[in-house]
Amino acid sequence: MQSRPALTAALSGVELRRWYWTLAELTALARSMGVPVRGGKAALAERLAAALDG
């Protein structure tokens, strides 16, 4: 079994979607990347995945 990677801007969108992240973790990453944090967890995760994939 693989262990979950650290949640950083170096992840790909695929890796972000592969693992479970808390809303607090996603919000912290979004703020550090300048991604808007509005909306629910699913919307935030999709915005982050898009930003990570460039």
pTM of the model: 0.92
Say if residue 1's pLDDT is above 90.
no
DSSP state of 19: S
Q: What's the distance, CA 2 to chain centroid?
A: 18
Mean pLDDT of 34-38: 97
pLDDT digits (tens, 9 = 90+) for 7-31: 999 999 999 999 999 999 999 999 9
* Sequence ranges of the domains in the chain: 13-52
**Model pLDDT, residue 29:** 99
- Residues 5 and 34: their CA atoms lie apart, in Å, by 21
DSSP state of 14: H
Q: Report how far apart the first and last C-alpha atoms of the chain are (Å, whole number).
A: 29
- Residues 30 and 32: their CA atoms lie apart, in Å, by 5
